[in-house]
């Protein structure tokens, strides 16, 4: 890793923390930066899980009260997400780098579309709170497999599943979303570390940068409209999609 690579990764990690604090979508930046510095796509994807994890933990801790309120459903959904995250991570490790590289532009295109549609996937008015339906459990299981495999847009998918099948208070749903993202990422990290596909030097640069960026994102959130940040993330996602299609 050259000095220029380290600077690029630090900036990407910082900006990832900023956009995650405002609108989400930081995975586009971390994954893109790591592949541009020469990391194989599977290693870049696995290392992105490491860089995003601290943010999931702090967000979950901030919502501890809400999670305790829904602890039974958190355990059920968490168990499903643990298994799904394991399956998704193992699926990734079963692929070769060329095979995964062929999937990358399609995954980025899908994740960009999900991210762009995020505001429309959230129900305008949440239904009265009810237990998570079987459809919701199935939807979260599928989402967790995707999260363990790739991860970009996972939070938006989870929030959409919970909003459409459970309903209730938005902050309680968001708390569950953050908890489930943490569980999925934790399982993926264990699998990826065991499979020796994590770029630890790159993670060491990006994790503290993301932490600083997350703090700065709170400041930026008060000054930069969320639609502006969302548009920038979608632009990055589309640019990366075109790049991987053209260079594939």
Residues 202-212, mean pLDDT to the nearest whole number: 90
The pTM score is 0.83
pLDDT category of residue 197 using cuts at 50, 70 and 90: very high
| Domain spans of the chain, in order of start | 3-247
Quick one: pLDDT at residue 192?
94
pLDDT band at 130 (very low <50, low <70, confident <90, very high): confident
Q: How many CB atoms lie within 10 A of CB 127?
A: 12
Instruction: Record the tokens describing residue 64, joined without a space.
Output: 């501890």
In this predicted structure, what is the pLDDT of residue 77? 93
DSSP classification of residue 128: P
37-84 pLDDT, tens digit each = 999 999 999 998 888 888 788 878 888 888 888 888 899 999 999 999
Q: What is the pLDDT, as a whole number, of residue 37?
A: 92
Tokens representing residue 88 in the block: 């998704």
Q: Write the Ramachandran bin of 71: left for phi over 0, alpha for psi from -120 to 50, otherwise beta.
A: alpha
Q: What is the dihedral of CA 244, 36, 145, 130, to 10 degrees?
A: -100
pLDDT number for residue 244? 86
Longest dimension (CA), the chain: 54
Residue carrying structure tokens 């702090």: 58
How far is it, in rounded angstroms, from Cα 22 to Cα 2? 30
Average pLDDT in the 92-107 region?
Answer: 90
Of 68-82, 149-163, 186-200, minimum mean pLDDT range = 149-163
pLDDT of amino acid 248:
67
CA–CA distance, 234 with 114 (Å, rounded to integer): 10
Distance CA 70, CA 138 (A): 19
pLDDT > 70: percent of the chain: 92
As a whole number of angstroms, the distance between CA 227 and CA 50 comes to: 27
Mean pLDDT of 120-138: 73
Contacts of 160 (CB under 8 A, 6+ apart): 121, 122
Are 16 and 24 in contact, with CB atoms under 8 Å apart?
Answer: no
């Amino acid at each position: 890793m050259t000095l220029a690579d380290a600077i690029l990764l630090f900036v990407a990690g910082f900006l990832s923390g900023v956009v995650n604090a405002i609108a989400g979508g930081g995975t586009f930046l971390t994954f893109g930066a790591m592949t541009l510095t020469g990391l194989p796509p599977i290693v870049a994807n696995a290392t992105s899980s490491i860089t995003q994890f601290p943010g999931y933990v702090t967000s979950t801790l901030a919502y501890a009260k809400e999670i305790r309120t829904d602890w039974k459903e958190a355990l059920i959904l968490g168990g499903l997400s643990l298994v799904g995250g394991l399956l998704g991570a193992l699926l990734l490790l079963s692929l070769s780098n060329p095979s995964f590289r062929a999937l990358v532009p399609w995954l980025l295109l899908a994740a960009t579309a999900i991210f762009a549609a995020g505001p429309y996937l959230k129900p305008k008015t949440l239904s009265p709170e009810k237990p998570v339906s079987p459809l919701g459990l199935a939807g979260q299981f599928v989402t967790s497999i995707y999260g363990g495999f790739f991860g970009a847009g996972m939070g938006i998918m989870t929030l959409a599943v919970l909003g459409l099948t459970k309903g209730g208070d938005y902050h309680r749903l968001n708390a569950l979303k953050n908890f489930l993202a943490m569980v999925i990422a934790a399982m993926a990290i264990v699998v990826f570390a065991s499979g020796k596909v994590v770029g630890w030097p790159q993670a060491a640069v990006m994790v503290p940068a993301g932490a600083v960026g997350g703090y700065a994102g709170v400041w930026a959130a008060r000054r930069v409209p969320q639609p502006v940040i969302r548009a920038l993330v979608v632009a990055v996602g589309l640019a990366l999609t075109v790049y991987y299609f053209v260079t594939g």
